Amino acid sequence: SDFNKTLAPWIGKTAKLINLYIADVFKEHAIQVTKEQWIVLKILNEDFDGVIQNELAFITNRNKASLTRLITIMEKNHLVKRISFAGDARKNQIFITQNGRELFLKMKPLMLQSIEHFQQGISLEEKAIFINIMKKIQTNLKTDVSESKNSLNPIK
Residues 97 and 149 in one domain: no
Rounded to an integer, the average pLDDT of 45-57 is: 84
| 7-34 pLDDT per residue, tens | 888 898 999 999 899 999 989 998 888 8
Residues 100 and 142 in one domain: no
* Within-domain flag for 3: no
The CA-CA-CA angle for residues 7, 143, 12, to 5°, reads 25
* Within-domain flag for 6: no
Rounded to an integer, the average pLDDT of 32-43 is: 88
Residues 40 and 20 in one domain: yes
* Within-domain flag for 45: yes
For the domain that residue 64 is a member of, what is the CATH number? 1.10.10.10
Q: How many distinct structural domains can be found in the chain? A: 2
Residue 82 and residue 75 in contact, taking contact as beta carbons nearer than 8 Å? yes
Residues 135 and 101 in one domain: no
pTM of this structure: 0.72
Q: Report percent pLDDT > 70 for the chain.
A: 90
pLDDT attached to residue 141: 84
Residues 151 and 74 in one domain: no
Q: What band does 153 get if pLDDT is binned at 50, 70 and 90? A: low
What is the domain range of residue 113? 13-120
pLDDT higher at 61 or 16: 16
